[in-house]
C-alpha cells in the first residue's frame, strides 16, 4: 500500500544501506505518513537534517505528483518528511482487498502447549489467543500456516501426575511438589497415562470453547520417544562432532543433552522436535510461543537449531509475560500446583469469549498485564470490544435502512468532508497493519487499530447524515463508504477471532 510505495521511492534515492522508517503520525497535521530518513542520513553525511530533507524532497518532486498518490511533501520539525495523500488516490484504493505477499512461506506456529497435568488456566488463554490471531494474520497474507500444540506427555511431570493421584487416594505419602486440587481427586484410580488422556480431552474442549483451533497435536511420547527420534538427532549431532563428553554427561555447547545417568534431557527432546519441524517437515519459519518462565531457554534453543543446520533466524520465539487476574481491585492468586487457579473455562463463562480475546490481545506479549474482571464483564460502550462491535452493528443498521438505494464503491468519489476522508484513510490502513504484524508479530496493533477505526466511524456518522432523501447521489456515496467500513470492521474483528454482530 502507500507506506511501502513511499519507502520504496525514498530507498531509490538514499540507497539500501540507509535504515529509516516511514510511519503514520498521530497528528493528521503532520501528514498521512512521516519519515525520519533525513535525520538518519544527516548523521552519516554530517549535514543539517533540514537541508538533507529539502534535498530529498526536491529529488522526490516538490508536488510528488509523479507518484499519483501524493498531494504534497513537506519538511517539518528538525527534518522530518511529511507525506500527504491525494484524494483521488484514496478513492481509487478504496475497496481493494488485502495485498498478498509475492513470496509465500510455510509457517509453523506452536502455542499454548500446556502440560496435560491439569485444566487450562486463564493464563494459558493469553498465548492461545495470541497464536490464533497471529496465524490468522499470516493466512490473510496467503502464507501456508500450521497451528500446532506440543503435548508434553513424556517425562517427569507425567510421573509426578501419577504420584499426585496416588497420594490423593491415600496410597503414598503426600509431597509438597505434588499437584493438588479437586481435579486430582476426580482422577483417583486412574493411571498417569489414563489421567493424561482425560486431561488432554478437557484441554481440547476448553480450546474449542475459546475458538482456538489446531491443525496438529504433536505428542512428545508417540512422535519422538517411541519413534527413536531423540537417538537419531543425537547420532546426527555426533556425526557433525557437535557433542562433547564432560563429567560423564554429553553436552551440546553449554547444555546437557544426555545426563550422567544416561537419560535424555528435555533439551534433547526439544532439539528432536525442531529437527522434525525444520528438516523433516520443511517449515520455512517456526514460531514458538512460550511462557515467561522459559525466557532463559531462548539462546540455548537458538544455538540448538543452528547445530542441526538451520539458521536461528528461522526460529521466532515469542515470550508471553505473566498475567495477574484482578477482581474487586484485588489480585486473585493462582497456582496449578496448589490447585488454586481460575480455569480458562471459568473465565470464558464469566466474561465471554469476545471480551476475553480482546483484553488478552490488547497488550504486547512482552508486557506484564492485569486482567480486570470487573471491566471485562461490563457490557457497554465503555468496554472497548463492545464499542467496536457497536460500530459494526451501527454500520449494518445504516445499510439495512438504506437497502433500497443501489450504490457502487466508485460512488465515493464525490466525498470531500474531513470526516469522510479520514474514514477512507482508516479503512486503507488495514493492509499495512496486517503487513506490520506479519513483520514484527505485534498482534496488539489490531486492537488499537480497531478501536481507532470505530472512533473514526463514530465521528463520521455523528456529524453527517448518511441517508439523505433530498440528495440521492450523496446518499449513494455515503452508503458505499459505510459498506466499506462494515466490511473492514468485520475483517479486523475476524482476524482477532472476535464476532461481528449485526445487531446489538
How many Cα atoms sit within 13 Å of 370 on the Cβ side? 11
Which residues, including other chains, have CB under 8 Å from residue 453's CB and lie 6 or more apart?
Answer: 388, 391, 426, 427, 429, 485, 488, 489, 492
Backbone phi and psi for residue 418, each to the nearest 5 degrees, phi listed first: -55, -45
C-beta atoms surrounding 95 within 10 Å = 17
Backbone phi and psi for residue 85, each to the nearest 5 degrees, phi listed first: -75, 145
Domain topology for 2-85: Gyrase A; domain 2 (3.30.1360)
C-beta atoms surrounding 103 within 10 Å = 7
Asked if 165 and 276 count as a contact pair (C-beta separation under 8 A), the reply is no
Q: What is the pLDDT of residue 500?
A: 98
| DSSP symbol at 98 | P
Decide: residue 22, CB within 10 A, 0-12 exposed, 13-18 middle, 19+ buried. buried
Alpha-carbon distance 376 to 199, whole Å? 28
Q: What is the pLDDT of residue 429?
A: 93
Three-class SS state of 446: helix
Asked if 224 and 272 count as a contact pair (C-beta separation under 8 A), the reply is yes
Write out the DSSP string of 271-323: HHHHHIIIIIS--SEEEEEEEGGGGGGHHHHHHHHHHTT--GGGEEEEEE--E
Q: What is the pLDDT of residue 489?
A: 98
Three-class SS state of 255: strand
Alpha-carbon distance 499 to 490, whole Å? 8
Asked if 47 and 55 count as a contact pair (C-beta separation under 8 A), the reply is no
Q: What is the pLDDT of residue 101?
A: 54
| Mean pLDDT split into 10-residue runs, the chain, 504 residues | 87 90 89 94 91 91 63 92 89 66 87 95 94 97 97 94 95 93 93 97 97 97 97 96 95 96 95 98 98 93 97 98 88 62 90 96 95 90 95 98 92 93 94 94 97 98 95 96 97 98 95
CATH number of 384-495: 1.10.730.10
Q: Which residues pair with 107 in a beta bridge?
A: 145, 285
C-beta atoms surrounding 89 within 10 Å = 17
Asked if 310 and 301 count as a contact pair (C-beta separation under 8 A), the reply is no
Asked if 178 and 160 count as a contact pair (C-beta separation under 8 A), the reply is yes
Length of the chain: 504
> First-to-last CA distance in the chain?
34
Asked if 450 and 385 count as a contact pair (C-beta separation under 8 A), the reply is no
| DSSP symbol at 78 | T
Chain-centroid distance of CA 57 in Å reads 36
CATH architecture of 100-225+321-377: 3-Layer(aba) Sandwich (3.40)
What are the residue boundaries of the structural domains of the chain, listed by start?
A: 2-85, 100-225+321-377, 384-495
| Residue of 359, 335, 337, 339 whose CA lies nearest to 347 | 359
Asked if 381 and 389 count as a contact pair (C-beta separation under 8 A), the reply is no
Three-class SS state of 175: coil
Looking up cell 510421573 gives 159
Alpha-carbon distance 436 to 432, whole Å? 6
Q: What is the pLDDT of residue 67?
A: 63
Q: What is the pLDDT of residue 356?
A: 96
Q: What is the pLDDT of residue 102?
A: 58
Which residues, including other chains, have CB under 8 Å from residue 425's CB and lie 6 or more apart?
Answer: 32, 85, 90
Decide: residue 267, CB within 10 A, 0-12 exposed, 13-18 middle, 19+ buried. middle
Alpha-carbon distance 165 to 172, whole Å? 9
| Residue of 98, 102, 51, 96 whose CA lies nearest to 69 | 96
Q: What is the pLDDT of residue 286?
A: 98
Q: What is the pLDDT of residue 390?
A: 97
Alpha-carbon distance 376 to 382, whole Å? 10
Amino acid at each position: 500500500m502507500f507506506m511501502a510505495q513511499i519507502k520504496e521511492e525514498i530507498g531509490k534515492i538514499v540507497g539500501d544501506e540507509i535504515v529509516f522508517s516511514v510511519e503514520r503520525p498521530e497528528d493528521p497535521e503532520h501528514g498521512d505518513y512521516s519519515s525520519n530518513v533525513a535525520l538518519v542520513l544527516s548523521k552519516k553525511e554530517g549535514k543539517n537534517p533540514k537541508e538533507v530533507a529539502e534535498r530529498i524532497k526536491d529529488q522526490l518532486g516538490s508536488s510528488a505528483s509523479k507518484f499519483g498518490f501524493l498531494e504534497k511533501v513537506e519538511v517539518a520539525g528538525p527534518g522530518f518528511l511529511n507525506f500527504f495523500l491525494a484524494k483521488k488516490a484514496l478513492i481509487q484504493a478504496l475497496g481493494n482487498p488485502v495485498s498478498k505477499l509475492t513470496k509465500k512461506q510455510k509457517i509453523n506456529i506452536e502455542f499454548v502447549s500446556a502440560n496435560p497435568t491439569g485444566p487450562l488456566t486463564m493464563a494459558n488463554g493469553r498465548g492461545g489467543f495470541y497464536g490464533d490471531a497471529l496465524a490468522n494474520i499470516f493466512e490473510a497474507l496467503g502464507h501456508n500456516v500450521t497451528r500446532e500444540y506440543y503435548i508434553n506427555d513424556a517425562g517427569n511431570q507425567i510421573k509426578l501426575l501419577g504420584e499426585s493421584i496416588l497420594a490423593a487416594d491415600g496410597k503414598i505419602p503426600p509431597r509438597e511438589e505434588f499437584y493438588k486440587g479437586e481435579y486430582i481427586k476426580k482422577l483417583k484410580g486412574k493411571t498417569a497415562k489414563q489421567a493424561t488422556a482425560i486431561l488432554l480431552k478437557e484441554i481440547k474442549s476448553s480450546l474449542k470453547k475459546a475458538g482456538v483451533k489446531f491443525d496438529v497435536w504433536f505428542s512428545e511420547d508417540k512422535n519422538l520417544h517411541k519413534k527413536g527420534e531423540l537417538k537419531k538427532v543425537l547420532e546426527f549431532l555426533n556425526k557433525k562432532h557437535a557433542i562433547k563428553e564432560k563429567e560423564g554427561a554429553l553436552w551440546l555447547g553449554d547444555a546437557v543433552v544426555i545426563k550422567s545417568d544416561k537419560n535424555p534431557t528435555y533439551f534433547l527432546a526439544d532439539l528432536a522436535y525442531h529437527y522434525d519441524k525444520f528438516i523433516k517437515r520443511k517449515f520455512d519459519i517456526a514460531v514458538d510461543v512460550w511462557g515467561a518462565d522459559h525466557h532463559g531457554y531462548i539462546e540455548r534453543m537458538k544455538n540448538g537449531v543452528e547445530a542441526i543446520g538451520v539458521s536461528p533466524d528461522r526460529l521466532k520465539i515469542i515470550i508471553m509475560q505473566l498475567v495477574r487476574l484482578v477482581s474487586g481491585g484485588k489480585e486473585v492468586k493462582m497456582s496449578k500446583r496448589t490447585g488454586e487457579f481460575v480455569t480458562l473455562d471459568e473465565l470464558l463463562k464469566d466474561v465471554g469469549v469476545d471480551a476475553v480475546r480482546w483484553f488478552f490481545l490488547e497488550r504486547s506479549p512482552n508486557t506484564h498485564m492485569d486482567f480486570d474482571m470487573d471491566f471485562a464483564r461490563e457490557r457497554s460502550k465503555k468496554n472497548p470490544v463492545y464499542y467496536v462491535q457497536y460500530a459494526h452493528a451501527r454500520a449494518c443498521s445504516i445499510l439495512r435502512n438504506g437497502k433500497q438505494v443501489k450504490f457502487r464503491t466508485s460512488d465515493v468519489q464525490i466525498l470531500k468532508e474531513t470526516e469522510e476522508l479520514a474514514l477512507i484513510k482508516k479503512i486503507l490502513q488495514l493492509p499495512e497493519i496486517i503487513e506490520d504484524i506479519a513483520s514484527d508479530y505485534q498482534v496488539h496493533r489490531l486492537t488499537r487499530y480497531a478501536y481507532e477505526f470505530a472512533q473514526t466511524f463514530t465521528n463520521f456518522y455523528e456529524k453527517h447524515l448518511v441517508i439523505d432523501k433530498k440528495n440521492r447521489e450523496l446518499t449513494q456515496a455515503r452508503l458505499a463508504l459505510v459498506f466499506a467500513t462494515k466490511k473492514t470492521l468485520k475483517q479486523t474483528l475476524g482476524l482477532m477471532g472476535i464476532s461481528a454482530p449485526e445487531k446489538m
